[in-house]
Amino acid sequence: MPRYPHIVFDLDGTLIDSAPAILASFRDAFAQTGMAAVRAIDDSVIGPPLTETLQLLSGSTDTAQIARLAEAFKASYDSTGYRATAAYAGVGELLAGLADAGLTLSIATNKRIHPTRLILEHLGWAGYFAEVYALDLFTPRLPDKAAMIARLLADRGIPSDQAIYIGDRSEDGESADANGLPFIAVTWGYGSLNRSEMRAGWRAAATPEALAGLLLAD
């Protein structure tokens, strides 16, 4: 019997390659608003929440300006842009295998809840997940991923020794640590951690097959 019956996943860079779709919609947002980005719109900006990323790209914290960019991004991404999202090779089989093994799967992502649900439906994965949490699922919006994971565990009554978090960035591991959860870093995504970034106790998986082996053997 696997040690951790509850598997909580990050989404972007972990299960899906959403970079091309997200970056295209960021470029659309700046083009539609006539604003200029102050840094390259590339894979390095994928991962943080939308408002934070738009502040970074625009070099501004002006509320009205960020709101205009956010609305333009959402109009692009939530209509057709999200459909360019691709699953990483082997992830669909990973999720099916974990579900078949009787494990409970959930998502805790910085991505907004609306496109998250659209993408899960688009990929045919919605049925795999017992819970899908996002920062904006609640009012007021949750402050960060650590708080989101804590809320998920509390809402579902999941003891921290029965769950594990899977992600691709340092923030994911730190959020797991904050909740007393073990962490496995996937190294196939764009947020891949290198050896020097790995903290004591964190493990890594280079392929979905390797991750399945770790999760089913625990």
Cross-sheet strand order for the sheet of 129-134:
129-134, 104-109, 6-9, 163-167, 183-186, 203-205
In percent, how much of the chain has pLDDT > 70? 99
Q: How confident is the model at residue 187 (pLDDT cuts 50, 70, 90)?
A: very high
Select the more confidently predicted residue: 45 or 150.
150
Average pLDDT, the chain: 95
Residue 85's nearest CA partner among 168, 25, 20, 169 is 20
Helix (H, G, I), strand (E, B) or coil at 204: strand
The secondary structure of 134-153, three-state, reads EHHHCCCCCCCHHHHHHHHH
pLDDT at 217: 87
pLDDT at 218: 63
Q: What is the domain class of 19-83 according to CATH? A: mainly alpha
Domains 6-17+85-217 and 19-83 share a fold: no
Q: Which residues contact 82 (CB under 8 A, 6 or more apart)?
A: 18, 21, 115, 118, 119, 122
- pTM of full prediction above 0.85: yes
pLDDT at 194: 85
d(C-alpha 61, C-alpha 26), whole Å: 17
Residue 166's nearest CA partner among 101, 98, 100, 115 is 98
Q: What is the domain class of 6-17+85-217 according to CATH? A: alpha beta
Select the more confidently predicted residue: 132 or 191.
132
Residue 1: pLDDT over 90 = no
Cβ–Cβ < 8 Å for 6, 164 = yes
Question: What tokens appear for 31 in the block?
Answer: 């083009």
What are the structural domain ranges in the chain? 6-17+85-217, 19-83
Q: How confident is the model at residue 138 (pLDDT cuts 50, 70, 90)?
A: very high
Rg, Å, the chain Cα set: 17
Helix (H, G, I), strand (E, B) or coil at 165: strand
